[in-house]
Chain A
Amino acid sequence: MTGSMSWGVGHFLLGGLLVAAQLLCGNASAADAQDVFAHPLSPTQMSALLGPAAKPLAAAPGLRGRFEQRKTLPDLPRPLLSTGEFLFARDLGVWWHTRTPFDSVFILTREGARSRDEGGAETRINADEQPGVAVAARIFFALFALDFEALSKDFDTYGVPTGTGKSSGWQVGLRPKLAAMSAVFREALIDGTQHANRIELRDAHGDRTEILLPEVSILTDGLSAADRQRFAN
């Protein structure tokens, strides 16, 4: 019955995976990306890998931080760079504000996805019209809730610890189970210590998107009114 589905499920769930990763405090270290897909883990093992601090953070009402996105395309000599800030609200959705190279806001909620440029141009996709958007929101919220059980339904999960001692961390790998989603990205890697520091998406054609998260803070007291306003229509 459906003729098209959301294409960004995977890419955007990364933002949520980032939430799942906000557990530990520590230094970042990158593990060997090739290894992780040799180590499948069950959901409980995933929770264990990410550490005992994962649980309290699961209840966090929100997160904010900065991001640096680097997109490498085949034939493209230099990667495309964008930077900006983001805000996750458990009950509302995700707000992604790109500042460079141009100003644009992207918002994903259970009702749909929309984006707004500084010029005012706005596009909107309702979850009703594009079933895939609803899928994206669902998966994202499962991530936010650190629901590896829900994630494991849509992804094959892998993980390895990385580093040692004070710089110990982890690397998580995800591969979509659904054919429809693997058309979007073939696999995803997340590196983190206390929180996710680096997310890498690879698709079937050689496109690579790398998102670095230099600063992340947890909003233990909930969202301010101004923050809530960001999600308003």
Chain B
Amino acid sequence: MPPMLRTVDGRFRLWGAAMLLLALVFAIVVAPRLRVETSIFALLPADERDAGAEQAVRVYTDQLARNSVFLVGAGDFAAARRAAGAFADTLKGSGQFSQVRLQVDQALAEAARADLPYRDYLLAARHREWLQQGQLQRLHDEAQRALYTPAGFMRPFNAAEDPLGLLSAFVTEQRPPTGRARLQEDVLALSGKDPAGRELSYVLVVAQAGNSAFSVATEEAAGQAIAAARTAAAAAGATDIVGSGVIQHAAAAVASGKREMSLFSGISLAGTVLLMLLAFRSLRPLLLTALAMAFGAIAGLTACQWIFGQVHLVTLVFGSSLIGTSVDYAIFFFADRFRQPGDWQPVQAPDFVTPGIALGYLTTALSYLALLLAPFPGLRQIATFSAVGLGVACGCVLFLLPRLARNWPVPPRALVLRLIDRLAALPRIASPRARLLLAVAGLLFVGGGLLRLDFLDDVRALQSSPPPLIRQEVRMRELLGQSADRRFFLVRGDSPEQVLQREEALRARLAPLLADRRLGNLLAVSEALPSQQLQATNHALLAQRVYGSDGLLPRLMRELGYGEDAVARQLASFAAGGAPLQPQAFFASAASEPYRPLWLGDVAGGSASAVTLFDVNDADAVAQAAAGLPGVRLIDKLADISEVLSRYRRIAMLLIVAVYLVTGLLMSRRYGYRGAAAMLLPAFGGGALALALLAWAGVPINLFHVLALLLVMGMGSDYTIFLRESRSAEAPALLAVVLATLTAVLSFGLLGFSSTPFLRAIGLVQALGVSFAVILALLLRPTRDSTQWMPR
């Protein structure tokens, strides 16, 4: 070992320098650029197999996430209209929304007429069929009916613009799902029941956020704007306002995350401070511990920012629980004082505590690092943050504290001394018979519990929204009367044209499903913007059958009594051409408004679009529709993630066994095989008991519960290692372990109150598992004079 590292002083200087460097780097480079990620989508595993699809899906999700839909309700339409006006004006005034749509009248009128210049290229599907099959008489009769009867009044174009009603049919064939909302005066409205059961009129307001819904700044500002708008609407007479949209959920998640982070950290810190003051009765240990924890936190944040480019809010909430863990090493260090209360030399402490602390950290780090294997970015961040943070805290304890700590003259509290004596007198289960009994009882409990074990690999384990928000979503769906399915088709191609052609192929496959209602409705860009290929087909058909000199149009016109010059004019205007409808022109016009969110534009080296589905009644048939179509894929994020959760849960169970084995092997180098096994037993038992307890309580288990078992192993074995390693008298070591356990259980127990289900799972299993592990360790500890488990 280099001379520098041999002395306490040398290590102190080296590590101290490193810590100062770390602090500098953090202050100058990391802190100003620290990005806290709040989007739930950042927690989800990326599609490992198809990066292009993953990117496209994220673009789509981002676009969708910007939309918020509101229904402003009041007793009568006039009041609702007024209140909706106030609502919309407030939203517009906030500057957070690039588009707030209340009045639809003008837009509808424009949208209806937008296709007129392209009439020679657009045909409804049924007319294309009739023309292809030569069924001109049907077209003729339809046109006649329109001119002579009121049936023709339901058309957006008049006889001169659209003599055969072809363009009108194309426009009315598109049926963007509007649900129950109807045009009333100049807004979209519907009537429905409020939560109290009263019949109200609701007016629809749709808002689109200007920035990504997943930036903290947007969420907070948008959330405030929405709150202000609700107040304004209520003042104008609204009695019920229903809102739905990702922004509101994201804002709620951020608010709760921040709340939890501060609450949990606060309580953890307070509890830890209290315990340490009680035990050590001096401020210096506390301050030094705080120093170690601070450096640990800084190191964790730096590592995350460096490796991942951002830190997720969930990582920070979890990080608050590390307060209770990182303090353990300091406690172990200071507990060494009890070895020689009056005459303690901190610089000598490392000789006694280093093996225990270092080995303890290694097992804990190993268990966190095993989390890196799960493809969940959230877990990987937690693993990195914890392993690095704890490591640096451990290093500070081992290298800084020996030089900075001082023995303190204040004698331990009488209370503490009594406690130490009590602890020494704790029963231990030493006799083989007693141990056998314990083992059998344990096995029964655990076995019975495991039999009742219920697995639920639900993606909702990742994030859950507050119930009021979820209720609003449900009500919105009921009131609007339609719901877009979470599944959608992703259509990709090398160019916009290829994407449109592929969409058309997909829609052809889905047409029979629509006809017999196995699929309620769909929304696709190609409905309103046919591919150039299809438009060329349409044009050719019109040229051949309709606008030829003996085509359908001249015949009809002569029948009606038009003169030859009128006929000639119509034929000439067709021949003069016009151009097909191009994507750019389409997306710039008012007619494209319902379709814009579906167009994903340039993504992953090509183009992409989404096809939304409504009322999927036969999921298998819908999924089959994409079979064999290149570039078309049904995306079902919910099923995908649930599948990942389930797959990795199974892997995790194997992982636990593997980690136990590896840890056991590592420990056996120091303690021998039996020793290692004996030391891992409390951790293993603690985890099993925790799991069984949950099973008895009827709590379904998912991946995160299983992963927490890993962490239990890491932390549980910490305590058994320390008990074995401490050369001090037994009782002080026990005290240290009990203190450390209390702080750890406090921290992780707090996580059990998190609003994020997977953090709850981890916290619960950790707290229970570590408690049981320590109890087992205490019960099964060998007597101090036994040399059985002493290190070699």
CB–CB B562/A104 < 8 A = no
- Distance, CA A123 to CA B176, complexed state (A): 19
Q: Which of A20-28, A43-51, A74-82 contacts the other chain?
A: A74-82
Q: Does A169 contact B (CB under 8 A)?
A: no
Q: Give how many A residues have a beta carbon under 8 Å from the other chain's beta carbons.
A: 58
Looking across the interface, which residue of chain A has its beta carbon closest to that of B168? A7
Q: Report the Cα distance A138→B191, complex, angstroms.
A: 14
Query: Are A205 and B161 CB-contacts (below 8 A) given A154-B185, A183-B113?
Result: yes
Per-residue interface assignment for chain A, residues 1 to 21, with 1 indicating a CB less than 8 Å from any chain B CB and 0 otherwise: 111111110111001000000
Residue from the set B178, B183, B563 with the largest chain A CB neighbour count within 10 Å? B183
* B594 touching A76, Cβ below 8 Å: no
**A-contact bits for B576-609, CB 8 A (1 contact / 0 none):** 0000000000000001011000000000000000
A131 to chain B, nearest CB (A): 5
| Given A2-B188, A71-B147, A119-B141: A7 and B153 interface contact (C-beta under 8 Å) | yes
Given contacts A80-B148, A82-B149, A205-B160, contact A113 B112 (CB under 8 A): no
Of A52-60, A95-103, A212-220, the segment with at least 4 beta carbons within 8 Å of chain B is A95-103
What 0/1 readout, one digit per residue, does chain B (154-188) give for beta carbons within 8 Å of chain A? 11101111000000100110111010011111101
Q: Tell me which residues across on chain A come within 8 A of B149, comparing CB atoms.
A: 82, 96, 98, 104, 106, 115
Q: Which residue of A lies closest to B204 (CB)?
A: A1
One of B101-109, B235-243, B419-427 contacting the partner: B101-109
**Given A8-B153, A77-B561, CB of A82 within 8 Å of CB of B158:** no
Distance in Å: Cβ of B101 to nearest Cβ of chain A? 8
- CB contact between B141 and one of A5, A77, A117, A153 (< 8 Å): that residue: A117
A7-B156, A102-B144 known; A75-B183 Cβ under 8 A: no
Contact indicator B156/A74 (Cβ below 8 Å): no
Q: How far is the CA of A80 from the CA of B557 in the complex (A)?
A: 12
Binary interface profile of A, 81-114, with partner B (CB < 8 Å = 1, else 0)? 0100000000000001010011010101000010
Contact in complex: A132, B154 (CB < 8 Å)? yes
- By a CB distance below 8 angstroms, the chain B residues around A12 are 150, 153
Partner pick for A75 among B109, B150, B152, B563, CB 8 A cutoff:
B563
Check if A104 sits within 8 Å of B148, measured CB to CB.
Answer: yes
Partner of A131, one of B144, B178, B185: B178
With an 8 A cutoff between CB atoms, is A174 at the interface? Answer: no
> Which residues of chain A are within 8 angstroms of B153 by Cβ–Cβ distance?
7-8, 10-12, 184
A5–B159 contact, CB under 8 A?
no
Please name the residue on chain B nearest to A8 by beta carbon. B153
Evaluate contact between B150 and A15: CB separation under 8 angstroms: yes
A38 interface residue per 8 A CB criterion? no
Select from chain A the residue with minimum beta-carbon distance to B595: A3
Query: Chain A residues with Cβ under 8 A from B414's Cβ?
Result: none
Interface membership of chain A positions 197-229, coded 1 if the CB is closer than 8 angstroms to chain B and 0 otherwise: 000000101110000000000000000000000
Residue of B nearest to A82 (CB): B148
Residue of B105, B112, B186, B560 with most chain A CB atoms under a 10 A cut-off: B112
Mark contacts of A123-166 with chain B using CB atoms, 8 A cut-off: 1 yes-contact digit, 0 otherwise: 10100011111111010000000000000011000000000000
- CB-based contact A180/B109 at 8 Å: yes
Residue of B nearest to A100 (CB): B148
Q: 13 A-B contacts, Cβ less than 8 Å apart?
A: A3-B594, A7-B168, A75-B562, A76-B561, A76-B562, A101-B148, A102-B145, A104-B148, A115-B145, A178-B183, A184-B153, A184-B156, A205-B158
Q: Give 9 A-B pairs besides A7-B112, A80-B148, A179-B105 with Cβ atoms closer than 8 angstroms.
A: A3-B174, A5-B112, A5-B183, A7-B156, A8-B150, A15-B150, A77-B563, A131-B183, A207-B159
**What is the interface of chain A, defined by CB distance below 8 A to chain B?**
1-8, 10-12, 15, 69, 71, 73-78, 80, 82, 96, 98, 101-102, 104, 106, 108, 113, 115, 117, 119, 121, 123, 125, 129-136, 138, 153-154, 177-180, 182-184, 203, 205-207
Q: Which residues of B line the A interface, CB within 8 A?
A: 104-106, 108-109, 111-113, 138, 141-142, 144-145, 147-156, 158-161, 168, 171-172, 174-176, 178, 181-186, 188, 204, 206, 528, 560-563, 566, 569, 591, 593-594
